[in-house]
């Protein structure tokens, strides 16, 4: 099989049938070499064991390519990434990108450890537990609204993503950060533009414009909160910034940006993909509906494994020449873990292609692993634990208004929806 043409992660049509292809390729090689649309080579990790190695071995794999590439290589990388932009847009694009690059996923220790420590107390299971009543209240209000969505024949019909899966997590993370309600819709546009920016495929002027508007908005909000701090995470991070050397302006903007993007688009898809998995497996839906409270925790883990919202990790960069999965990797080459493929590796679970909410705990990579493992995992789990049981309790007869095959997977840089 010609792997390069079998796996085309940049083609929406491929995504509809990706899993059998991953399985066939993984049986031949767990690490495979592909080319991005701009011609740049990169390695895609399909096997579970190798995925763990890449995500956990911080000595050999870096998140921050600036620390791995030489000056010349950096210039060549910039040329490849921004080269297609008109010259007048190039400098702006580089400057905007730089503003957002110092976030947790873009840096390595010791900077990473410092940044992570600053936010971690707001995402511990204990802290997050306190948000339960508010999240339940939000879910209930959204469900009340859904009661009135009728189609032309008088039956209740609604867009689950638009009217339930999206508003819930965006409201939660916005309230945590203290972002005014009226601004939240704009985030969707901005953060979608960011996600549709494919790191391997180069950038485009519209996405850069959205990113610029996003940065401008966050800087304005930072100024407002500096003058009038609130009881929220954004103000907390600003104060931390002012008390010592802790956060630079650039780090602050990048941190808030990451929390907004990572904190809502992913959980939207946990809810959406979870319901899709249930609709495709009516036996599992029946089991779940019979006793949602009993099944919800393992069901969330199985959704994360089977249809994880984050399909692919961000790139890691080899710090040295090395051999991985039998392949010779050169220093500086990017590697992406295809989490969707690793989590269906028979090395992880028996019958990986089966969606089974009664499985014993699995060590899936839906939240990543190693020092970049998802910071928001306790929050995301809790949102799922509230959203899905509340939905099936309110609408026990819920079903898809279209055939599963008619649904189209959205193509984004890293997430599946
Ligand atoms: C079901 C929902 C979610 C999924 C599947 C998910 C998945 C992931 C994955 C796979 C990574 C690691 C990426 C990599 O190593 O390249 C990650 C990192 C991260 N996630 Fe999540 N995430 C979810 C929800 C959230 C939420 C609700 C927040 C915060 C409000 C959040 C914040 C973060 C942050 C800050 C990181 C970077 C951590 C670091 O680099 O130290 N995520 N997430």
pLDDT of 88-128, one tens digit each?
777 777 777 777 778 899 999 999 998 998 888 888 988 89
Among the atoms of ligand 1, which is closest to the Cα of residue 173?
30
Q: Is 412 part of any domain?
A: no
Per-residue model confidence (pLDDT) at position 283: 97
Per-residue model confidence (pLDDT) at position 82: 77
Question: CA torsion 342→346→347→348, rounded to 10°?
Answer: 70
Q: Which helix (H) or strand (E) holds 33?
A: strand 31-35
Among the atoms of ligand 1, which is closest to the Cα of residue 370?
15
Rounded CA-CA distance 324/30 in Å is 9
The answer on pLDDT for 361 being more than 60 is yes
Q: Is 194 part of any domain?
A: yes
> Whole-number mean pLDDT of the chain?
88
| Span 290-310, average pLDDT | 97
105 touches ligand 1 (CB under 6 Å): yes
pLDDT interval class at 310 (50, 70, 90): very high
**Across 14-28, 56-70, 231-245, least confident range:** 231-245
Rounded CA-CA distance 105/100 in Å is 11
Per-residue model confidence (pLDDT) at position 130: 94
Mutate which of 64, 123, 135, 376 for ligand 1 pocket (most atoms within 8 A of beta carbon): 376
314 touches ligand 1 (CB under 6 Å): yes
Taking the centre of ligand 1 as the mean of its atom positions, its distance from the CA of residue 144, in whole angstroms, is 30
Q: Based on the structure, what is the number of domains in the chain?
A: 1
Mutate which of 54, 128, 266 for ligand 1 pocket (most atoms within 8 A of beta carbon): 266
Please indicate whether residue 404 or residue 124 has the higher confidence score (pLDDT).
124
pLDDT interval class at 411 (50, 70, 90): low
157-176: per-residue pLDDT in tens? Answer: 999 999 999 999 999 999 99
Domain that holds residue 161: 3-406
267 touches ligand 1 (CB under 6 Å): yes
pLDDT interval class at 204 (50, 70, 90): low
| Span 190-213, average pLDDT | 68
Per-residue model confidence (pLDDT) at position 74: 86
Per-residue model confidence (pLDDT) at position 207: 74
Q: How many CA atoms lie within 13 A of 240 on its CB side?
A: 20
Taking the centre of ligand 1 as the mean of its atom positions, its distance from the CA of residue 364, in whole angstroms, is 14
Q: What is the CATH number of the domain that holds 213?
A: 1.10.630.10
The answer on pLDDT for 200 being more than 70 is no
259 touches ligand 1 (CB under 6 Å): yes
| Span 318-345, average pLDDT | 97
Taking the centre of ligand 1 as the mean of its atom positions, its distance from the CA of residue 25, in whole angstroms, is 27
Would you state the structure tokens that stand for residue 411, as one six-digit string? 């193509």
Ranked by mean pLDDT, which of 51-65, 82-96, 179-193 comes out on top? 51-65
Find out whether 261 and 255 touch, Cβ atoms under 8 Å.
no
Q: Is 414 part of any domain?
A: no
331 touches ligand 1 (CB under 6 Å): no
261 touches ligand 1 (CB under 6 Å): no
pLDDT interval class at 305 (50, 70, 90): very high
Taking the centre of ligand 1 as the mean of its atom positions, its distance from the CA of residue 370, in whole angstroms, is 12
Q: Is 74 part of any domain?
A: yes
Would you state the structure tokens that stand for residue 107, as one six-digit string? 């840096």
Per-residue model confidence (pLDDT) at position 95: 74
Q: Is 43 part of any domain?
A: yes
Q: Is 411 part of any domain?
A: no
The answer on pLDDT for 72 being more than 50 is yes
Alpha-carbon distance values, 389 to 281, 290, 291, 303, 367 (Å): 17, 11, 9, 14, 21
Q: Is 166 part of any domain?
A: yes
The answer on pLDDT for 414 being more than 80 is no
Per-residue model confidence (pLDDT) at position 416: 43
| Span 258-284, average pLDDT | 92
Q: In what order do the strands lie in the sheet with 41-45?
A: 31-35, 41-45, 334-337, 316-318, 61-62
The answer on pLDDT for 1 being more than 70 is no
Per-residue model confidence (pLDDT) at position 417: 39
The answer on pLDDT for 188 being more than 90 is no
The answer on pLDDT for 299 being more than 90 is yes
Per-residue model confidence (pLDDT) at position 328: 97
Taking the centre of ligand 1 as the mean of its atom positions, its distance from the CA of residue 262, in whole angstroms, is 6
**Across 73-77, 128-132, 296-300, least confident range:** 73-77
Minimal-distance CA residue to ligand 1 atom 43: 374
309 touches ligand 1 (CB under 6 Å): yes
104 touches ligand 1 (CB under 6 Å): yes
Please indicate whether residue 192 or residue 44 has the higher confidence score (pLDDT).
44
Per-residue model confidence (pLDDT) at position 241: 62
Mutate which of 45, 272, 374 for ligand 1 pocket (most atoms within 8 A of beta carbon): 374
Please indicate whether residue 140 or residue 76 has the higher confidence score (pLDDT).
140
Would you state the structure tokens that stand for residue 307, as one six-digit string? 């249809």
| Span 201-228, average pLDDT | 82
The answer on pLDDT for 53 being more than 90 is yes
Per-residue model confidence (pLDDT) at position 291: 95
Per-residue model confidence (pLDDT) at position 242: 57
Per-residue model confidence (pLDDT) at position 191: 73
Among the atoms of ligand 1, which is closest to the Cα of residue 384?
1
pLDDT interval class at 415 (50, 70, 90): very low
pLDDT interval class at 359 (50, 70, 90): very high
The answer on pLDDT for 201 being more than 80 is no
Q: What percentage of the chain exceeds 70 in pLDDT?
A: 93
Q: Is 52 part of any domain?
A: yes
Q: Angle, to 10 degrees, between the axis of helix 249-280 and the axis of helix 233-243?
A: 150
Q: Give the total residue count for the chain.
A: 417
């Amino acid at each position: 099989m010609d792997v390069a043409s079998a796996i085309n992660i940049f083609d929406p049509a491929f995504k509809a049938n990706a899993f059998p292809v991953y399985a066939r390729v993984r049986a031949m090689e767990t690490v495979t070499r592909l080319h991005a649309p701009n011609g740049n080579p990169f390695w895609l990790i399909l096997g579970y064991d190798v995925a763990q190695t890449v995500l956990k071995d911080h000595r050999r794999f870096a998140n921050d390519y600036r620390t791995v590439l030489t000056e010349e290589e950096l210039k060549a990388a910039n040329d490849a990434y921004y080269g297609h932009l008109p010259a007048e847009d190039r400098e702006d694009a580089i400057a905007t990108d730089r503003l957002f690059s110092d976030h947790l996923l873009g840096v390595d220790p010791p900077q990473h450890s410092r940044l992570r420590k600053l936010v971690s107390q707001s995402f511990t299971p204990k802290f997050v537990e306190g948000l339960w009543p508010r999240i339940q209240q939000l879910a209930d209000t959204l469900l009340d609204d859904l009661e009135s969505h009728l189609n032309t024949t008088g039956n209740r019909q609604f867009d689950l993503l638009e009217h339930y899966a999206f508003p819930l997590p965006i409201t939660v993370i916005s309230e945590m950060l203290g972002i005014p309600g009226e601004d939240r819709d704009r985030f969707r546009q901005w953060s979608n533009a960011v996600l549709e920016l494919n790191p391997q495929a180069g950038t485009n002027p519209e996405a850069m414009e959205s990113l610029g508007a996003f940065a401008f908005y966050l800087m304005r909000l930072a100024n407002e909160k500096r003058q009038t701090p609130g009881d929220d995470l954004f103000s907390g991070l600003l104060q931390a910034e002012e008390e010592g050397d802790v956060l630079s302006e650039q780090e602050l903007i990048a941190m808030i940006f990451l929390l907004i993007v990572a904190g809502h688009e992913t959980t939207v898809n946990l809810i959406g993909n979870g319901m899709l998995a249930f609709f495709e497996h009516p036996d599992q839906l029946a089991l779940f509906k019979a006793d949602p409270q009993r099944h919800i925790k393992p069901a969330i883990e199985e959704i994360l494994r089977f249809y994880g919202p984050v399909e692919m990790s961000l790139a890691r960069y080899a710090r040295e020449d090395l051999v991985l999965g039998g392949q010779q990797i050169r220093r500086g080459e990017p590697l992406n873990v295809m989490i969707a493929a690793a989590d269906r590796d028979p090395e992880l679970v028996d019958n990986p292609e089966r969606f089974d909410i009664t499985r014993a705990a699995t060590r899936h990579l839906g939240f990543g692993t190693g020092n970049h493992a998802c910071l928001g995992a306790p929050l995301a789990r809790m949102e799922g634990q509230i959203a899905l049981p509340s939905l099936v309790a309110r609408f026990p007869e819920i079903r898809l208004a279209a055939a599963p095959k008619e649904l189209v997977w959205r193509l984004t840089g890293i997430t599946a929806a």
